Amino acid sequence: MTGRRGRPPKSADSGLSRERILKEALALVDEEGLAAVSMRKLARRLGVDPMSLYNHVDGKDALLDGIAEVLLAAIPAPAPGTGLRETMSALARGFRAAMLGHPRAAPLVLTRQLASMTALAPVEAVLGPLLAAGYPPDRAVHGLRAVLAFLIGTLMREVDAAPTFSSTGDLGRLADLSASGLPAVAEAAPHLAVCDHEAEFEFGLGILLDALAP
């Protein structure tokens, strides 16, 4: 019984691991934003040679996918056995909360093609009640995707990564809108110049859930 299971401490055991790398990468994104992420800077933060990262992660793109999966994994599974509407609503809220917890990293989830199976648990949680409610599988998938599209679109805006087509709340903007010469824009200017994300989210989600789970 030598302990250590055949892993002699030898020399440069830096304690690096995929998990530690992803955690530090997420912290870096939270602090400095996506544009600031580089393999070299991340290595510096970990006190390690840049090339060491490649022993645990497949390159920069795989690193970003990894961060996305960490975020995705934070979505809580809804309590089983509750009704269709409650389940869908809880999942949507969980998704939103997970993204708003890391707004600068959220675009990684919202804009990347993720191959992972990580996200299948939420899919199951939505699809189950839809099928149980009598939806034929193809319509259930349509419904799932419609809600997902709305979620992605709203969250991109909340996270400041999507076009508002009108404003972000600064004051000069209100004047611009009023003076645009477009009558409807001018009339709605006070509302275009602000965005209550919470209300926006509830409004859209309400429409979709009314249609899918009345």
Enumerate binding residues for DNA (CB under 7 A).
10-16, 37-41, 48-52, 54-56, 59-61
Strands (E), the chain: none
Q: Which of 93, 162, 174, 178 binds a second copy (CB under 8 A)?
A: 162
Contacted entry of a second copy, DNA, none for residue 16, CB cut-off 5 to 8 Å set by kind: DNA
Is residue 78 helix, strand or coil?
A: coil
Stretch that binds a second copy, among 38-46, 49-57, 98-106, 179-187 (CB under 8 A): 179-187
- Tell me how far apart the alpha carbons of residues 138 and 149 are, in angstroms, rounded to a whole number: 16
CB of 173 to DNA, least distance (A): 25
114-133: contacts with a second copy (CB under 8 A) = 114, 117, 119-124, 127-128, 130-131
Instruction: Return the number of the residue (28 or 126) whose C-beta is nearest a second copy.
Output: 126
Q: What is the DSSP letter of 49?
A: -
153 binding partner (options a second copy, DNA, none; Cβ < 5 to 8 Å by kind): a second copy
Q: Count of alpha carbons within 13 Å of 21, Cβ hemisphere only? A: 30
Sequential DSSP letters for 87-104: HHHHHHHHHHHHHHTSTT
> Which one of DNA, a second copy, none is in contact with 73 (Cβ closer than 5 to 8 A by kind)?
none
Residues 96, 97, 98, 102: is their CA dihedral positive or negative?
positive
- Sole binder of a second copy in the list 93, 112, 174, 178 (CB under 8 A): 112
- Residue 112: phi and psi, rounded to 5, are -105, 145
Burial of 177: CB neighbours in 10 Å, binned 0-12, 13-18, 19+: buried
Q: Identify residues 14-73 at the interface with a second copy (CB under 8 A).
A: 68
Question: Closest approach of Cβ 17 to DNA, in Å?
Answer: 8
Phi-psi label, residue 113: left if phi above 0, alpha if psi -120 to 50, beta otherwise: beta
Rank residues 51 and 120 by Cβ distance to a second copy and give the closer one.
120
Three-state DSSP class for residue 191: helix
User: Of how many residues is the chain composed?
Assistant: 214
Where do contacts with a second copy occur on this chain (CB under 8 A)?
68, 107, 109-114, 117, 119-124, 127-128, 130-131, 137-138, 140-143, 145-146, 148-154, 156-157, 160-166, 168, 176-177, 180, 182-185, 187-188, 190-192, 195, 199-200, 203-204, 207-208, 210-212
